[in-house]
């Protein structure tokens, strides 16, 4: 038990550190290759912050724990929206200037509904997983198109400032790209082993562990990125990180895990508890941030509501575990 706890703590620390090195190395390498800053920010940095979720879920699926993989994806979206955006809005109210981010918000809603339709029959086979993965490649294509056509967007200005602040020689960039990826895999393997061991020792399902401990740990890069961006006044990066990560989690993270290890029996709680909570938070985010009558904005009151919703959901999870329903 002690070894498992140390594995989780050490795995989290190494995971967050290696994810940061991987994303910085990938972004700097792409910059040296001549990619536009907006494209780097939206594709490499935006999706790269979800590398921990992807690798952890893939490792869990390879180890025969698909419930942990699914819980990690759904739980990460709930953490991203409720905890991370809630904290970020309390630190500095988030104003949405970017037209690209406003287009991504309804897209996230659609992706969430599609995922629910695929989960509805209580299973996720390889065909459904391939549909999600195909949706991810379609999303990447749309993102590239939006980045290339989005010259002058508010998001581009913020990303340009970040790229200037973090220059890196090509050799060092490639080094951290490779080393970061290797350490991501190693730390994910350690984390999954620790999480599964703890779940077995406590008699808690892999799904619950994925929704809570693992989801929180793999979402730490988004938390750091969004809070730092908000404090710098880079509001579109703050919310764009979360929206991009949530789309990546539903399409790529679940899709890859489902291809590796199909899920013939998805726990009923996913569709009666976890997916509806995720969608309610996503809908709330859309209403707050889209800006139907002007500029979208998440103020401190709305941030507090997101945090309260996150706290209520986790209380629900604790009660369900104590009641022996999960």
Task: Note the pLDDT of residue 164.
Answer: 59
DSSP character for 123? -
Task: Note the pLDDT of residue 310.
Answer: 97
Q: CB 224: neighbour CB atoms within 10 A? A: 16
Partners of 96 in beta bridges:
296
**Confidence check: pLDDT of 166 > 70:** no
Partners of 218 in beta bridges:
none
Provide the percentage of residues in the chain whose pLDDT is more than 70.
97
Task: Note the pLDDT of residue 326.
Answer: 57
**Which three-class secondary structure state does DSSP give residue 94?**
strand
Task: Note the pLDDT of residue 286.
Answer: 95
pLDDT: which is higher, 259 or 18: 259
Q: Which one, of 17, 300, 49, 60, lies nearest residue 196 by Cα?
A: 60
C-alpha to C-alpha distance for 58 and 62, rounded to whole angstroms = 6
Task: Note the pLDDT of residue 233.
Answer: 84
Task: Note the pLDDT of residue 127.
Answer: 96
Task: Note the pLDDT of residue 20.
Answer: 82
pLDDT: which is higher, 22 or 284: 284
Task: Note the pLDDT of residue 278.
Answer: 97
N-terminal to C-terminal alpha carbon distance within the chain = 21
Task: Note the pLDDT of residue 255.
Answer: 96
Q: What's the gap between Cα 144 and its chain centre?
A: 19
- Digit-coded pLDDT (tens) for 24-78: 888 888 888 888 877 777 777 777 778 888 999 999 999 888 999 999 999 999 9
Average pLDDT over all residues of the chain: 88
Task: Note the pLDDT of residue 62.
Answer: 92
Q: Where in the chain are the domains?
A: 2-322
Spatial contact of 26 and 48, defined as CB atoms under 8 Å apart: yes
**Confidence check: pLDDT of 82 > 70:** yes
**Confidence check: pLDDT of 165 > 70:** no
**Which three-class secondary structure state does DSSP give residue 152?**
coil
CATH fold label, 2-322: A middle domain of Talin 1 (1.20.1420)
- Digit-coded pLDDT (tens) for 230-266: 888 888 888 988 998 999 999 999 999 999 999 999 9
**Confidence check: pLDDT of 324 > 70:** no
- Digit-coded pLDDT (tens) for 206-217: 899 999 989 988
């Amino acid at each position: 038990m002690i070894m498992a706890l140390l594995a989780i703590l050490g795995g989290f620390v190494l995971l967050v550190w290696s994810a940061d090195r991987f994303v910085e190395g990938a972004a700097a390498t792409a910059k040296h290759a001549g990619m536009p800053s907006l494209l780097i920010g939206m594709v490499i940095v935006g999706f790269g912050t979800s590398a921990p979720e992807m690798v952890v879920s893939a490792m869990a699926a390879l180890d025969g724990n698909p419930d942990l993989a699914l819980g990690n994806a759904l739980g990460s979206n709930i953490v991203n929206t409720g905890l991370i955006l809630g904290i970020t809005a309390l630190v500095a109210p988030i104003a949405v200037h970017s037209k690209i981010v406003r287009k991504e918000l309804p897209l996230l809603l659609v992706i969430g509904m599609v995922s629910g339709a695929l989960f509805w029959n209580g299973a996720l086979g390889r065909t459904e997983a391939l549909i999600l993965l195909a949706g991810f490649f379609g999303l990447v294509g749309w993102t590239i198109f939006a980045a290339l056509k989005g010259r002058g967007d508010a998001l581009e200005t913020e990303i340009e400032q970040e790229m200037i602040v973090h220059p890196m020689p090509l050799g060092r960039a490639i080094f951290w790209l490779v080393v970061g990826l290797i350490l991501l895999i190693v730390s994910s393997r350690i984390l999954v082993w620790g999480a599964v061991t703890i779940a077995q020792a406590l008699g808690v399902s892999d799904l619950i562990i994925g929704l809570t401990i693992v989801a929180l740990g793999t979402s730490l890069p988004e938390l750091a990125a969004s809070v730092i961006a908000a404090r710098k006044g880079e509001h579109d990066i703050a919310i764009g990180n979360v929206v991009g990560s949530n789309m990546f989690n539903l399409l790529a993270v679940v899709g890859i895990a489902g291809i590796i290890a199909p899920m013939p029996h998805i726990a009923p709680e996913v569709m009666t508890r976890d997916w509806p909570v995720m969608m309610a938070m996503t809908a709330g985010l859309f209403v707050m941030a889209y800006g139907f009558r002007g500029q979208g904005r998440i103020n401190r009151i709305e941030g507090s509501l997101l945090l309260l919703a996150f706290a209520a959901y986790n209380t629900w999870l604790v009660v369900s575990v104590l009641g022996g329903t999960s």
